[in-house]
């Protein structure tokens, strides 16, 4: 029997992205179909091979380029689940399902809500590799790609980093750093470890986290609390952000002046190898390649 006839006699399968399993294709509709073995390798309740392990990174865009949450995210992918840690140390467990190609699903173990994701290798460097993952807030379909999600509003995108598994001499260390040491004399520990800065003494005093406002995480308080001096805050609601005097402010004048200014966008000049200021793509007459803040560029 000819080889072509053997192949023609074999059943073809494709991934059912709702059931996370391979189902038989019905000719003549064979688009996206493959033999059973290759189909099962990219479809099922397991983590995509290239996502396994610990990834640390940041929120690159939340709905739109100018909106994102500061701080480090951590994705710890196991064989069929992932533990996600938010910047505020909140943790959540999800089941993972691979659904063919560079797409996967996360199923919240607490609520059973499913979200659809796309993953793309951004860069493979000497010691580390960068991965981009994204989801659409509409959650009606899987994203086309990470790069497409970055360019459009209504998406949530992350850039994550991991030690390159083939790094020379396995010299990359990606453990979470130990928290900074705090002198016990500076702070009392109560309900959720929150404190309020006393500018008269330059020390942090315990408070109930539920109060909010200037009752902040104890570590943040210790890092920013200083004795005496006028306090300022940035008035972001003004057309041109400006520092204003506020007894409840958390910055001195120099710190406020260094942070309180309109966001500046930049893009990479590949000829000079330097970042140059540009007009954001989502503003009238903006540069379509001007996607990121200058600090990210």
Residue 98, helix vs strand vs coil: strand
Q: Where residue 61 falls among pLDDT bands split at 50, 70, 90?
A: confident
Mean pLDDT on 250-258? 73
What pLDDT does residue 168 have? Answer: 62
- The b-or-e profile of 5-21 (16+ CB within 10 A means b, else e) is eeeeeeebbbbebeebb
> What pLDDT does 95 receive?
96
SS3 196: strand
On whether the CB atoms of residues 163 and 183 are closer than 8 A, the answer is no
Cβ partners under 8 Å of residue 165, min gap 6: 53
Q: What is the pLDDT of residue 244?
A: 83
**Confidence label for 194 from pLDDT (cuts 50, 70 and 90):** confident
Mean pLDDT of 39-48: 90
E-assigned strand segments in 187-231: 194-198, 203-207, 216-217
One CATH from 1.10.260, 1.20.120, 2.60.60, 2.40.128 for 49-167: 2.40.128
pLDDT at 80: 94
Of 32-41, 178-187, 277-286, the one with minimum mean pLDDT is: 178-187
HSE-CB at 37 with a 13 A cutoff on CA atoms is 1
Q: Which residue has the higher pLDDT, 64 or 3?
A: 64
What are the sequence ranges of the domains in the chain?
A: 11-44, 49-167, 184-248, 263-297
Query: Between 123 and 228, where is the model more confident?
Result: 123
Q: Which of 143-152, 216-225, 228-237 has the highest mean pLDDT?
A: 143-152
Higher pLDDT pick, 145 / 169: 145
Cα torsion 158, 161, 165, 167 to 10°: value is 150
Answer whether the bond into residue 227 is a cis peptide, omega within 30°: no
Residue 187 banded pLDDT, cuts 50, 70, 90 = very low
Residues composing the chain:
297
CA distance 79 to 45: 9
Q: Do 135 and 113 touch, CB atoms closer than 8 A?
A: no
Question: CA torsion angle for 272, 276, 281, 283 (degrees, to 10)?
Answer: -160
Instruction: Pick the closest to residue 78 from 96, 101, 91 (CA basis).
Output: 96
Whole-number average pLDDT of the chain = 80
CA distance 243 to 32: 57
pLDDT of residue 140: 75
pLDDT over 80 at 182, yes or no: no
Contact predicate 155/136, CB 8 Å: yes
Residues 6 or more apart in contact with residue 243 via CB below 8 angstroms: 232, 233, 234, 235, 251, 253, 256, 257, 260
- pTM confidence score: 0.54
Closest to 90 measured CA to CA, from 71, 112, 104 = 71
Query: Which pLDDT score, from 0 to 100, does residue 239 have?
Result: 62
Give pLDDT, residue 159. Answer: 92
Question: Rounded to whole angstroms, how far apart are CA atoms 208 and 217?
Answer: 10
Given a cut of 60, is residue 146 above it in pLDDT? Answer: yes
């Amino acid at each position: 029997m000819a080889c072509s006839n053997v192949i023609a006699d074999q059943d073809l399968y494709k991934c059912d992205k709702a059931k996370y399993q391979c189902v038989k294709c019905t000719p003549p509709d064979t688009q996206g179909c493959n033999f059973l073995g290759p189909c099962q390798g990219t479809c099922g309740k397991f983590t995509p091979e290239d996502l396994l392990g610990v990834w640390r990174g940041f929120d690159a865009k939340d709905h739109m380029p100018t909106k994102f949450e500061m701080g480090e995210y951590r994705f710890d992918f196991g064989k069929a689940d992932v533990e996600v840690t938010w910047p505020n140390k909140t943790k959540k467990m999800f089941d993972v399902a691979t659904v063919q190609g560079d797409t996967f699903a996360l199923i919240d173990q607490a609520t059973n809500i499913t979200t659809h994701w796309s993953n793309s290798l951004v860069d493979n460097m000497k010691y580390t590799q960068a991965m981009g993952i994204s989801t659409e807030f509409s959650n009606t379909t899987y994203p086309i790609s990470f790069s497409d999600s970055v360019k459009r509003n209504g998406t949530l995108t992350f850039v994550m980093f991991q030690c390159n598994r083939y790094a020379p001499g396995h010299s990359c260390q990606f453990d979470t750093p130990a928290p900074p040491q705090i002198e016990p004399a500076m702070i009392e520990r109560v309900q959720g470890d929150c404190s309020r800065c006393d500018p008269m003494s330059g020390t942090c005093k315990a408070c109930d986290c539920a109060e909010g406002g200037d009752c902040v995480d104890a570590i943040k308080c210790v890092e920013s609390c200083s004795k005496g001096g006028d306090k300022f805050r940035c008035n972001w609601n003004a057309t041109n952000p400006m520092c204003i005097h506020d007894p409840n402010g958390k910055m001195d004048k120099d710190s406020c002046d260094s942070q309180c200014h309109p966001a500046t966008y930049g893009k990479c000049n590949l000829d000079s190898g330097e970042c140059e200021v540009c007009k954001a793509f989502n503003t009238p007459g903006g540069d379509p390649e001007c996607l990121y803040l200058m600090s990210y560029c």
